[in-house]
Structure 1
Amino acid sequence: MNEHDTAGAVSRKSAFRRLIRYMKPHKKALAGAFTMLIIATAGDVLGPILAKVFIDDYLTPRVFDPLKLIVLIVSFILLYVIAALMHYFQLISFQKIALKIIQQLRVDVFGKVQHLGLAFFDQTPGGSLVSRITNDTEAIKDLYVSVLSTFVQSMTLLAGIFIGMFILDVKLALICLIIFPIIFILMQVYRRFSSKIYMRTRQKLSQLNAKLNESLQGMNIIQAMRQENRLRKEFGAINQQHFSAMMKSIRLNSLMLRPAVYALYLLVLMITLSFFGIQSFGAVIEVGVLYAFVNYLDQLFEPVNSMMMQLSRFQQALVSAVRVFELLDDKRQAPMKEGDGTPSIDKGMVEFQNVSFSYDGKTDILKNISFTAKPGETVALVGHTGSGKSSIINLLMRFYPIDRGKITIDGAPLQSFHDEELRRKVGLVLQDPFLFVGDVKSNIRLNHDYITDEQVIKAAEFVQADSFIEKLPRKYGEPIGERGAAMSSGQRQLLSFARTMALNPKILVLDEATASVDTETEEAIQEALQNMRKGRTTIAIAHRLSTIQDADHILVLHKGEIVERGTHQDLLELRGLYHKMYMLQKGDDLNHHLTLATRSGGAS
């Protein structure tokens, strides 16, 4: 999925409404925080009024009643202490709620990704996906932690300030109301220009992550093929585009935020001073009222400034929310169970009936594939790269939905099985085994509580993985780093064998399972593979034809079609594609052995 493909699929308005809905479970906590905010705001508003009373009623007429002054001073101090405490607690409450909301959102996004089909991951760069889960949710966190709380506090303070203004002077308060249409216009202009800039900024940041992820994943190839300069130039080009987008954002913020608001503040201050100046020609002006109004103006533009400064974060959060909700709304789910029945896999008979499949909906990768694998039989899939072998495995594992045709297990349609039944009864061993961060035991058990420690050890012994595990410093408790990088490819593959056998599956799927294993290790596990296949239906992809000579059925694929089928001997007698492949590999193996023998003779 291209970054631009889904842009606009979720509108900013709907994204904002959905963000607000995340606040519903926290209604009571929000009500408590808002109550504290109102109390704190009331303290901020009443402060200048008490100051006005002191100036006009005591300081100007020089009336100093000790008792009344003490009451006034104590009230003033208590007011600000209470306001400060309420500000502290309401800020903590809003922040706590915000963090809980973003915590839930991240869990939702991560959970969604776990259930997306492989078709999604085929079309989405890994770095781009990481950017959505981390950077975009971080930007949304700013919306809850900073933006919404700032807007709520600022709007509440503005309402309180204008109430105080109307108490002091109705006419001047009405005149000051003209700032609101101007502020609204400023916000709309800023929103219009900034939304496009922030969308581009997020896209470029996502592309940076994608390029970085690609580089880290392929670092050995990059260094081996001397691609460092090319990758650096490509990364630099994207980085420059991100820099240009950020500079546009900075220029817009520099113009539309604090300078514009400060100019508006000066305008309103001049209007206020002019109003009092004109009034002074015909009447006495209360200094306390003037002080309170100027004080309110200072307080008035602080929340306005805060809201304007938060607009940039607001726009970034909305853009990020659009991207996150597009991910949450993605329909490319992993194929799920269909129908009401609950069939079980007891025998393990697999049947493909006229199955055709296309990844892109245009070009068929598989064409009318039909075969049957009976319980206990081994069916081998061979063919050149791109012939469709892995696609057959992907469909059998239900990684992709079936386009046309039918796949059954023990006579029941593949889509009728529960995920738990299918994953437990169909064991998969891939060419490139994946190990998780943890230890040896956890990588064999994979958090399946029903697999005991004894079963873990038996599975390892069964595939002869115990021979190297017992030599490890901590044996089954030996730590494994990311992707098992510290282990050899053969050791990783043996652990993947043990992991599969611990489940005791009815159907065994081997996707070139011995390709990453050295010759010595391969010979050691061939016997284990023979044992694994006993009593199980086995479907194996093989490039080394020597490993599947005893298969009950060999299917030769070419351009998505089965062009030959039979036993090893049958296919050799046919002298077709399989025969050519076998003779080529036999010649390669002979040359390889001669080379080894020559080297050994030279060394001696």
Structure 2
Amino acid sequence: MPADSIAVPGLPAEPVDRRRTVGDAAALLARAAAPDRRHLLHGMFWLLVAAGLEALGPLIGKTFIDSYLLPRNAQWPQMAGLLAGALVAGMAASWLRYLQLTRLAGVAMRSVQRIRESVYGHVLRLPMSFFDRAITGQLVSRVTNDTEAVKTLYVQVLFVMLDSVIVLSGAMVAMLWLDWHLMLIVATLVPAVALIVLLYQRLSAPAVTRSRELRSELNAQMAESIAGMAVLQASNAAERFSAKFAAVNEAHYQSRQRELRANAWLLRPVLDLLNVILLAVVIAVFGARDQGAALTTLEVGVLYAFINYIARVVEPLIQITMQFSQLQQAMVGAARVHALLKEAEAPKAAEQGRVTEGGISIDHLDFAYQPGQPVLHDLNLHIEPGSFHGIVGHTGSGKSTLLSLLLRFYPAPPGSIRVDGTPVDAIAEDHFRDRVGLVPQDPFLLAASARENIDMGRGLGDERIEAAAKAAHAHDFILALEQGYATSLGEGGARLSVGQKQLLAIARALAGDPRILFLDEATSHIDSETEQIVQRALTELRGRVTIVAIAHRLSTIRDADRIVVLNHGRIAELGTHAELMAMPQGLYQRLYLLQQLEEEGAG
């Protein structure tokens, strides 16, 4: 991966366009902060007032020295008034600083909250084709680390830099009013700092971008290793994976070292040196003026004020330059979040279509993931409402692709798939998902209770949840758990057997009261006893729910109304189990007999 690039999950890294990165980050910030624009303006106003009050301090000190201290003009009421004014101005500035900080920090927190929710919601609405190329760890990094970088951009970068610019401007205006000659000397510090910042950006930007990409890679490797820990240990691959992780970690370390060296040379040390040089020059110029003449009290007051203002000029410049390290990282993070948000969501269907009976028609269906590489060829099939259809075929025959098209995970050619006479892409999304259930090959379970795993946040009542569990023949084993439906199942349902997980997944699908139920090799990993339970559940659903089962174990769909045999993306055979077994040298007959021989051999 190039050192100077931005990676989107699952996509090749692309070279960084600095102007586009800044534009993307600015667009993201504007979008997130728009609802709090009034609070943002209030905070900036209080910041301006606080900076103005702080700028009064050296001016009050100059007046105190020039008018009262050096002339020994002890007018106590006036002196007390000046001191009281300085105290009140300082207290008011501190109070306004508090208001400004809490208001702007609140804006930042709410903005990050909105961005994080927006990114998570956007990811949930992305088409399945995106997840074919996405990496889980990198997506998690977008939702957590990169959105947190936006908060850094708000709180630790933009607000600090804005504050520093305002304080710097106030100090320069005050020095201009006091002595414009000395102010011009101090002003030379600004272009010097600008050159330092430019040099720092050129040296550190590639390292910052690279280190952030490598951090995502570390997250991805960690998530992948934890998810596949059983296979990793069984394959004795711990050392190899550890070495791979260490290589990425070393690259991340080297990138951070390059960034650290740029920070160490070009930020605080250089600016501290410039501060000392500037102070020496101002004192030398002040001392060289009017040689041979006695210093006036006015000049001493000006010197006092200038020494104070120089500190107020240098410190903001130091703060601005010190924030550039965070700025680089935050801008890259914000640009990566913006790039993810620009990913096109799955198209929403119009509201008119409805699933009523559950009939499915497939007419002249052709499909290819890549142009010129067709997966399905001219499929034609009619599935009656309430019927039970099985789909079988060898690996790569197109079974999973057909199921993905039926589930609208990928867009089918217009009009090639209809449900109850309506094109599948014209059925409202929410309605379609409510009326179509899926039981996957590897059931996904939340680290939550059995009730929550069946409900999936739909707010279903206990009666409906238990009815679905009974229909799936999962009610008895759930009741046998120590807390019944309230029992926590552990991460991924670790407390359940594979068969129990699958029954729970069937109960979840049935809890939505679907008209169509798809099973994606739902019995391939379960034992024969659990398979018989699943078969009984399917038998009880026949006539009420349209069932389409992709099956590796042919015994699961032996009693189906019709069995569709796919071969190289085409329907090779179609009929009942008896009809297909009667075909001499038929593909289904060979598959079935081969499985019978395998089971007998295993026995």
Same structural fold, with TM-score higher than 0.5 when normalized by the shorter chain: yes
Structure 1 counterpart of 2:497? 488
Say which of 170, 181, 199 aligns to 2:180: 170
Check 1:123–1:114 CA distance in 2 against 1; reply closer, same or farther (3 A cut): same
SS at structure 2 position matched to 1:551: coil
Superposed displacement of residue 404, structure 1: 7.3
Number of residue pairs aligned between Structure 1 and Structure 2? 589
Structure 2 counterpart of 1:12? 21
CA distance in 2, matches of 1:129, 1:535: 40
Find out whether 1:477 has 2:486 as its counterpart.
Answer: yes
The answer on whether the counterparts of 1:195 and 1:319 sit within 8 Å (CA) in structure 2 is no
SS at structure 2 position matched to 1:91: helix
CA distance in 1, matches of 2:413, 2:338: 28
Deviations 1:32-51 (Å, cap 9, x if unpaired)? 21222122212221111111
The answer on whether the counterparts of 1:376 and 1:534 sit within 8 Å (CA) in structure 2 is yes
Structure 2 counterpart of 1:209? 219
Say which of 38, 42, 54 aligns to 1:32: 42
Q: How does 1:241-256 map to 2 (within 5 A)?
A: 241-256=251-266
Question: Partner letter of residue 511 of structure 1?
Answer: D
Which structure 1 residue ranges, 4+ long, deviate > 4 Å from structure 2? Answer: 6-10
Superposed displacement of residue 159, structure 1: 1.0
CA distance in 2, matches of 1:478, 1:37: 53
SS at structure 2 position matched to 1:358: strand
The answer on whether the counterparts of 2:358 and 2:516 sit within 8 Å (CA) in structure 1 is yes
Check 1:136–1:562 CA distance in 2 against 1; reply closer, same or farther (3 A cut): same
Find out whether 1:328 has 2:369 as its counterpart.
Answer: no
SS at structure 1 position matched to 2:473: coil
The answer on whether the counterparts of 2:439 and 2:522 sit within 8 Å (CA) in structure 1 is yes
Question: Partner letter of residue 54 of structure 1?
Answer: F
Q: How does 1:213-224 map to 2 (within 5 A)?
A: 213-224=223-234
Question: Partner letter of residue 416 of structure 1?
Answer: A
Structure 1, unpaired ranges of 5+: 594-604
The answer on whether the counterparts of 2:397 and 2:568 sit within 8 Å (CA) in structure 1 is yes
Structure 2 counterpart of 1:398? 408
CA distance in 1, matches of 2:40, 2:238: 52
CA distance in 2, matches of 1:127, 1:399: 22
Superposed displacement of residue 113, structure 1: 0.4
TM-score using structure 2 length: 0.94
Find out whether 1:424 has 2:434 as its counterpart.
Answer: yes
CA distance in 2, matches of 1:168, 1:324: 48
CA distance in 2, matches of 1:125, 1:2: 6
- Judge which range, 402-411 or 112-121, deviates more: 402-411
Structure 1 counterpart of 2:533? 524
Question: Partner letter of residue 265 of structure 1?
Answer: N
The answer on whether the counterparts of 2:406 and 2:417 sit within 8 Å (CA) in structure 1 is yes
Say which of 350, 358, 379 aligns to 1:348: 358
Structure 2 counterpart of 1:226? 236
Find out whether 1:110 has 2:110 as its counterpart.
Answer: no
Say which of 302, 309, 327 aligns to 2:322: 309
CA distance in 2, matches of 1:198, 1:550: 61
Superposed displacement of residue 403, structure 1: 4.7
Superposed displacement of residue 411, structure 1: 1.3
The answer on whether the counterparts of 2:437 and 2:517 sit within 8 Å (CA) in structure 1 is yes
Question: Partner letter of residue 336 of structure 1?
Answer: K
Deviations 1:372-404 (Å, cap 9, x if unpaired)? 111122221111222211111111000111257
CA distance in 1, matches of 2:11, 2:530: 44
Find out whether 1:296 has 2:305 as its counterpart.
Answer: no
Say which of 462, 466, 470 aligns to 1:461: 470
Say which of 182, 189, 195 aligns to 2:199: 189
The answer on whether the counterparts of 2:531 and 2:556 sit within 8 Å (CA) in structure 1 is no
The answer on whether the counterparts of 2:414 and 2:423 sit within 8 Å (CA) in structure 1 is no
Question: Partner letter of residue 327 of structure 1?
Answer: L
Question: Partner letter of residue 15 of structure 1?
Answer: D
Say which of 497, 518, 521 aligns to 1:509: 518
CA distance in 1, matches of 2:550, 2:265: 63
SS at structure 2 position matched to 1:255: helix
Structure 2 counterpart of 1:560? 569
Tell me the percent identity: 37
Check 1:269–1:403 CA distance in 2 against 1; reply closer, same or farther (3 A cut): farther
Structure 1 counterpart of 2:278? 268
CA distance in 2, matches of 1:523, 1:553: 19
Superposed displacement of residue 492, structure 1: 1.2
Superposed displacement of residue 311, structure 1: 0.7
Superposed displacement of residue 571, structure 1: 1.9
SS at structure 1 position matched to 2:481: coil
CA distance in 1, matches of 2:316, 2:110: 26
Superposed displacement of residue 558, structure 1: 2.2
Find out whether 1:372 has 2:385 as its counterpart.
Answer: no
Say which of 127, 146, 151 aligns to 2:161: 151
CA distance in 2, matches of 1:362, 1:144: 48
Deviations 1:36-88 (Å, cap 9, x if unpaired)? 21222122211111111222222212222222222222222222222222222
Structure 1 counterpart of 2:544? 535
The answer on whether the counterparts of 2:11 and 2:133 sit within 8 Å (CA) in structure 1 is no
Superposed displacement of residue 541, structure 1: 0.7
Superposed displacement of residue 280, structure 1: 4.0
- Judge which range, 47-56 or 215-224, deviates more: 47-56
The answer on whether the counterparts of 2:455 and 2:508 sit within 8 Å (CA) in structure 1 is yes
CA distance in 1, matches of 2:414, 2:105: 52
CA distance in 2, matches of 1:12, 1:496: 44
SS at structure 2 position matched to 1:500: helix
CA distance in 2, matches of 1:175, 1:20: 37
The answer on whether the counterparts of 1:493 and 1:516 sit within 8 Å (CA) in structure 2 is no
Query: What's the Cα RMSD here?
Result: 1.8
CA distance in 2, matches of 1:108, 1:216: 27
Superposed displacement of residue 6, structure 1: 5.0
Structure 2 counterpart of 1:599? none
